Amino acid sequence: MKTRTPRYLENSLQAVFFMCAAISAVTTVAVIGILAVETWGFLQQISLVEFLFGTRWSPLLHPKSYGLLPLLAGTTLIVVGASLVALPVGLASAIFLSEYASERTRNILKPVLEVLAGIPTVVYGFFALTFVTPLLRIVLPDTHVFNAASAAIVVGIMVLPMVASLCDDAFRAVPDNLREGAYSLGATSFEVTTRIVVPAGLSGVFAAFVLAISRAIGETMAVTLAAGATPNLTMNPLESIQTMTAYIVQVSLGDTPAGTLTYQTLFAVASVLFLVTLCLNIAANMIMKRFQEVYE
């Protein structure tokens, strides 16, 4: 091959590659910087205590009020509901995939899970609004048109493939001789699964759960479409609520000039969102590393 590259070119190539990799670090610095600057501006006018512990969120209508708790309550409702759907179903599907399914079934189901995971969230929002909500209103007639329950259910369906696929990976990493040992002692498949496989893959399962919760917190379109736009300090899933993400969308659909207090609320809310999801993601990584069983 006559493709000689001069030495200086070799070195400059390396510099270019490094710059590409550094973009990720720059992105993080930019995100933190922008959130911090605008949130600082916000906190000059509204005290941190009022922001974090105030019980009324009304930045757009008079009398204005900037208490984050209603938005946090809304997000919590969605997360709890979605977890109730995604965690048990995801875990059971993962057990089926790794312990019971034949190779053929796996080869069909894995791509199906991938398709499910690739459906855009706006489609899930449509599904919630036009299918889940009407169904809920038949069963529970006092359900509002926009309600937390319907959004929580579809967010659960949305994060389910991720939970299933991560738990499946964790179970598949458990070596077969552990299973065979238990079977040879006369354990049933149920006992092997619940006492050998699941405990051995527990770090992966926990990490999957934490990541699922983090995804549910950051979910935007489904909750904007289905859960409503009323910041509401309630724990009743049949009422209309607003999540942190839905608030951000609601404001940006209008035209908000930069520098105003309303513009800054966006960044203050996004800071909370960013910090919470970042902590959860870091926690998931730590669980994965710290408690991983190492087999030889």
Partner 1 sequence: MIAQSNLAWRHKKAMFFRCFCIGVTAFAVFILGLLIYQVSVLGLPWLDAQFLSSFPSRFPEKAGIKSALLGTLWLVSMTAAIAIPVGVLASVYLEEYARPTRLTEFININIANLAGVPSIVYGMLGLAIFVRFFQLERSLLSGALTMSLLILPVIIIAAKEAIRAVPGSLRQAAFAVGATRWQVIRAHVLPSALPGILTGVILAISRAIGETAPLIMIGALTYVAFVPEGPMDEFTALPIQIFNWTSRPQEEFHELASAGIVVLLLVLLMMNALAVYIRYRGTRAK
Positions in 93-122 near partner 1 (CB under 8 A): 93, 95-97, 99-100, 109, 111-112, 114-116, 118-122
Does 180 bind partner 1 (CB under 8 A)? Our answer is no
**For partner 1, the closer CB: 235 or 282:** 282
Residue 232 belongs to what H/E stretch?
none
CA dist., res. 82 & res. 162, Å (int): 13
Considering beta carbons, is residue 75 or 232 the nearer one to partner 1? 75
Tokens at residue 248, please? 């951000």
Which residues lie below 8 Å from residue 223, measured CB to CB, with a gap of 6+? 74, 78, 125, 151, 155, 243, 245, 246
One-letter amino acid of 128: A
Q: CB nearer to partner 1: give 148 or 164.
A: 164
Among 68, 174, 208, 266, binds partner 1 (CB under 8 A): 266
Calculate the alpha carbon distances from 175 to 188, 202, 285, 292 in Å. 17, 14, 22, 13
Contact flags string 8-27 toward partner 1, x per CB under 8 A:
-xx--xx-xxx-xxxxxx-x
Of 43-51, 182-190, 200-208, 233-241, which segment contacts partner 1 by CB under 8 A?
182-190
84 binds partner 1 (CB under 8 A): no
- 3-state class (DSSP) for residue 15: helix
Residue burial 103-126, b: 16+ Cβ < 10 Å; e: rest: eeebeebeeebeeeeeeebeebbb
Size of the site for partner 1 (CB under 8 A): 84
Q: How far is the CB of 204 from partner 1 (least distance, A)?
A: 15
Q: Which CB sits closer to partner 1, 236 or 251?
A: 251
For residues 224 to 263, the per-residue mask of contacts with partner 1, x marking binding by CB under 8 A and - elsewhere, is -x-------------------x--xx--xx----x-----
CA distance 45 to 59: 13
Looking at the Cβ atoms of 48 and 112, the one nearer to partner 1 is: 112
Tell me which residues in 127-156 interact with partner 1 (CB under 8 A): 127, 129-131
Cis peptide before 63 (omega within 30 of 0): yes
3 near partner 1, rule: CB under 8 A = yes
Q: Per rule CB under 8 A, is residue 283 in the interface with partner 1?
A: no
What is the secondary structure of 144-164 as a DSSP string?
-SS-HHHHHHHHHHHHHHHHH
Phi, psi of 63 (to 5 degrees): -70, 135
Residues 58-77 that bind partner 1 (CB under 8 A): none
218 near partner 1, judged by CB under 8 A:
yes
